[in-house]
Amino acid sequence: MRKEWIELEGFGSLAVEQVLVSFDVPILFVCENQNGKRFLTLCIDDEEGRYVIAEVLTSNLIGMLNNDITMEYVFRQAVNHILYVTEYDFDKEKFNIESEDSLSVSKEILPKEGMYFELNNEKIRQYCRDLRGDKVLYKKEESQYYEIALQNYKQPSFVITQDDEYDMLKRGKLTNDILTKNVNKIQRLSRIQLVA
């Protein structure tokens, strides 16, 4: 059952999918809308209802949880470079939401530069496994490969080496020429290694 949290114009209602850090209230958590888009959310001040919300690529979220990229990087690389900053209006009983450029927004409202997530417990590991099962790009620590599961193929997994496609983690998607070049292999093999 979805626990609705906030209405975000253009995205609909966001529900809390996973709390990553919590004290008395959730501090860092992931929301999801009805279309499956994910939003990393940071509580700046719970008494004033101040939050920073960033639509994120699932690949960046996994990279953050695996300590491959910093928390600040994930916010700065928000989809379309847009962050949503909220403040609760207690008189009107609703959130006021302003959009900010993620590349130029004040560092005061983001996680400290260079800071990694670092929390690692079974709940976080399970969430990462769930995200990977969501057919997304991710980095495998031990082999330094990226794996993409494509739902449209009968046998959907293949890997791409880090050396050749490192920037895919930042873009969060395969380029069309890589997919086109290898579509026949993808259809007939359950697992292939692509090396340009």
Tokens of 27: 């501090």
A 10 A CB-CB count for 15 gives: 16
* Mean pLDDT taken over the chain: 75
Quick check: pTM over 0.85? no
CA distances to 65, 138, 142, 194 from 56, in Å: 13, 14, 25, 26
What average pLDDT does the segment 73-96 reach? 94
- Residue 91 carries which side chain, given as an amino acid letter? D
- Phi first, then psi, for residue 61 (nearest 5°) are -60, -45
pLDDT tens for residues 94-110?
899 999 999 999 999 99
% the chain with pLDDT above 90: 54
pLDDT tens for residues 116-142?
999 989 999 999 989 988 543 444 444
pLDDT tens for residues 151-179?
333 333 334 433 333 444 334 444 444 44
